[in-house]
Structure formats: structure tokens, C-alpha cells
Amino acid sequence: MKNILLFLLSISLFILNGCAFRLIKRNKDIVYAPAVIGTNIPEQKLNVFAPKNKKNLKPVLIFIHGGNWNSGNKSLYNFFGSRLARKNIVSVIIDYPLSPAARYDKMAISSALSVKWVKENIKQYGGDPERIYISGHSAGGHLATLISLDNKYFDSLKIQNPIQGIVMIDAAGLDMYGYLMEEKFGAGHTYLETFTATPAKWKDATPLYHLHQNMPPMLIFRGGKTYPSIIKSNEKFIAALPEYTTRFTYILQKPKHHVPMIVQFFFPYNPRYRDIKKFMNPQEKKD
């Protein structure tokens, strides 16, 4: 009898939390950028996760993975795409060229190309091209923020910046200039392969130096026990924001280290999903 009651209770919870079981469709390995001829940069692909119900166009979240700018791939984050789609968000998880084959600017232009692809194609997957948001963890957070703030990447593609908001998950490199100036890495270091040995390039790659009054709003998550360099750069970035905007929300997760800041999203009922949904659509009714 006890087992039956537990089973019925479980079924009731499933019904009450139906959003966790919303039917979704996965479209994987869609090419959004061709291989770069004469380089080691292959074609770049993305995965789209969307609710099967296309009755109304849904907000879109593009996610850029971390990995120190030299590792990682989109497939590791399929869980994130699926969780978001079940919460009525069309999600796009991208790959981008990695160091040493590509430097930060090539990564950034590739990320911008993925946004352009989304703007032009996401409607057929049930996504709203007028509600495109971007997110990233670690190095991906750097790239997401950089292309959102420095419009030259979209200008080079001859489109207006379509990003409506940024979700930064323990973002690295927000003050890459200050970090590299302090560390004084020697020739051959992976960060110098990514950002060059030229301080002017470091500043160009630093989101902190591209703040302006017309920035998209930001939702910023930071781990309390993350790497010291991330703590320092995030604090400098957040301290500088009020001079330009009030449209940002900063959430400090005191117990969390760097990797758990993204692993937490494996749990479908993580409260950070609620924060993201509210940020993307504050008027939307709770599932």
C-alpha cells in the first residue's frame, strides 16, 4: 500500500510539474558558418532545442560553452538545451573555433555569425527572432558579453545587434587586459595564443572597455568560490556598470565553485532557471 501511495504521489508531482515533461524537438549539427579556407578552422555547427508546440513564438537563448577558449564542445551542454526547451525557451547551443587555430576575434565573429543565423532562421523552429538572448559560461561568458557590447562584430556582418539581453554564468575574461597585464605570461602561453602578446589587443578583447549606455540588460551569476581572476574581473565589471546602466541583476552564489556554476543547470528545478525565465520574459505566467 505504501508503494502505491508513493507511486500516486509521484504521478501527481509529474502532473503538477508538467513543464519538465513538455515534448521537445532536437535539431543537431546545423552548419551556421563554413570552414575558413587556408586555415585549420572547420565549419561551425549548432544544436537547436525547441518545444514541439509552435502555437506561439518563444523567446530564444543562445548558449556559448566554456573551456578556457581552447577546449569544450556544444554536445556537452545538450542537457542545458533540453531543460530550457522544456521551460518554453527555444535554446541554441553553439560550437565556435578554438585556440590555437583561432584567436579571440575569430571566436567572436563566429559567435556573432551564430546570432545572425538565429535571427534569420529561428522562426521555423518556433523561436521569436525579436527576442534573442545570449548566454555563456566561463570563456563562453566572455564571448557572449563581448559581442553584445562591442557592435563591431555585427557591423562587420552588416546587421544590427539583435541581442536583447545577456545571461553571464561565472564569466571569465571580463577584464582580460588587467589580468594579462598583471600575470605577464611568457611566449607560447595559451592565453597569448588566444589574445596575442599585444596589450592593445587585450583591451579590444575586454568587455569592461566596451561598456556604453545602450547596452542590453544583463543577468549576472557568479560563484562565491570561483577562481580569483573571475572574482576580481566580475567585481570590476559590476562596479563599473552603474555609470552606464541600471538594467542589470547580480546574483552571487556564495557556496559554488566555477564548474558547479554550470553543472547546477543539470537539475531541472534549479532556481536559476526561474531567474532566467523572468529575465527573458518578466510578464510570462509561471508554468
DSSP per-residue string spanning 207-269: GGGG--TTPPPEEEEEETTS-HHHHHHHHHHHHHGGGT-S-EEEEEETT--TTHHHHGGGSTT
> Does residue 29 surpass a pLDDT of 80?
yes
By percentage, how much of the chain surpasses pLDDT 90? 87
> Does residue 18 surpass a pLDDT of 80?
no
Confidence of residue 286 (pLDDT cuts 50, 70, 90): low
Contact 233, 257 (CB under 8 A): no
* Arithmetic mean of pLDDT, 12-36: 75
> Does residue 231 surpass a pLDDT of 80?
yes
- Please give the single-letter amino acid code of residue 263: V
Q: pLDDT by residue (tens digit) across 39-61?
A: 889 999 999 999 998 889 999 99
For the chain, the structural domain boundaries read 23-280
* Arithmetic mean of pLDDT, 188-208: 98
> Does residue 21 surpass a pLDDT of 90?
no
Q: If one looks up domain 23-280 in CATH, what number appears?
A: 3.40.50.1820
- Look up the pTM and report it: 0.92
Residue in 253, 257, 260 with CA at minimum distance from that of residue 275: 253
Q: pLDDT by residue (tens digit) across 241-267?
A: 999 999 999 999 999 999 999 999 999
> Does residue 211 surpass a pLDDT of 60?
yes
Helix 176-183 to helix 228-240 angle (10° resolution) is: 140
Place of cell 605570461: 185
* Arithmetic mean of pLDDT, 186-204: 97
Q: pLDDT by residue (tens digit) across 99-141?
A: 999 999 999 999 999 999 999 999 999 999 999 999 999 999 9
Q: What is the pLDDT of residue 22?
A: 76
Beta bridge partners of 58: 127
Set of cell numbers at residue 246: 541600471
Q: How far is CA 203 from CA 94, 129, 179, 264, in A?
A: 25, 31, 11, 32
Contact 236, 175 (CB under 8 A): yes
Q: What is the pLDDT of residue 12?
A: 40
Q: How far is CA 188 from CA 97, 100, 183, 191, in A?
A: 19, 10, 14, 8
Q: How far is CA 100 from CA 45, 105, 171, in A?
A: 19, 12, 21
Instruction: Quote the CA–CA distance of 58 and 54 in Å, as a whole number.
Output: 8
By percentage, how much of the chain surpasses pLDDT 70? 91
> Does residue 161 surpass a pLDDT of 50?
yes
**DSSP H stretches of helix in 17-123:** 78-86, 104-121
Q: What is the pLDDT of residue 20?
A: 57
